[in-house]
Structure formats: C-alpha cells, structure tokens
Amino acid sequence: MTYHLLATAIALLHLAFIVFVLLGGLLLLKWPKLIWIHLPAAAWGVLIEFFGWYCPLTRWENSCLREAGRAGYSGGFVSHYVFPLIYPAGLTRMHELVIGALVLAVHLAIYVKVLR
C-alpha cells in the first residue's frame, strides 16, 4: 500500500511539473522572479521532448508500482498518461518535435517580454 501511494504521489508531482513547464511561463508576466525556477524546468521539458528522454520521475514511479506488486508501464509518463488524453491516435515523432518547438517559441516570447 505504501509503494502504491508513493507511486501515485510521484505521478501527481510529475503532472504538476509538466503543467508548470507548459503554463508556468505565463506566471512570469505577473511574478517575473519566477524566471529562475521556470527557466531550468522549461529547459528540462524541452530537452525531454526533443531528445525523447525519460524523466527520472517515470523510473521512480514504475519502481514503486513494481514494489507494490503492479506492473509498471513502458514509455514515458507523457506517453502513458498525457498522450491518450490530449493527443490523437497516430502521433508521430515529428508531431512531438513540432509541439516542443511551439512550447519553446511561446516561452521565448514570454521571456523576451519579461526580460525587457
């Protein structure tokens, strides 16, 4: 039971981190000092998407699930939980790169505005 709760907590933390990476740039418009927290988070998110890496949180969640007697999942957190919710079937690597580029472009525009 403890490992299952820990896996759930890690999954929720992972989701919160992803939401912060995607939308945290908007918080900079109100609180510019958050740039020092958001910038490394956004950079990590972009690197994960562009290079197809798996976040360590995915490994930790899977490890906890296995310890709890459940099967882990293959692929990353985003492909397991998020893609089925918001992306259509047939998503290709090119789509992932385009999504990553769009997120990067939006954040760069916000950062330019905040830094001026």
- What are 37-67's pLDDT values in tens digits? 999 999 998 888 788 787 888 888 888 878 8
Query: Rounded to an integer, what distance in angstroms lies between the CA atom of residue 49 and that of residue 83?
Result: 13
Number of folded domains that form the chain: 1
**Per-residue model confidence (pLDDT) at position 41:** 93
Residue 84 confidence (pLDDT): 63
pTM, whole model, 2 decimals?
0.70
Determine the structural domain holding residue 81 and report its residue range: 2-115
Average pLDDT along the chain: 81
Task: Give the span between the Cα atoms of 90 and 3, in whole angstroms.
Answer: 33
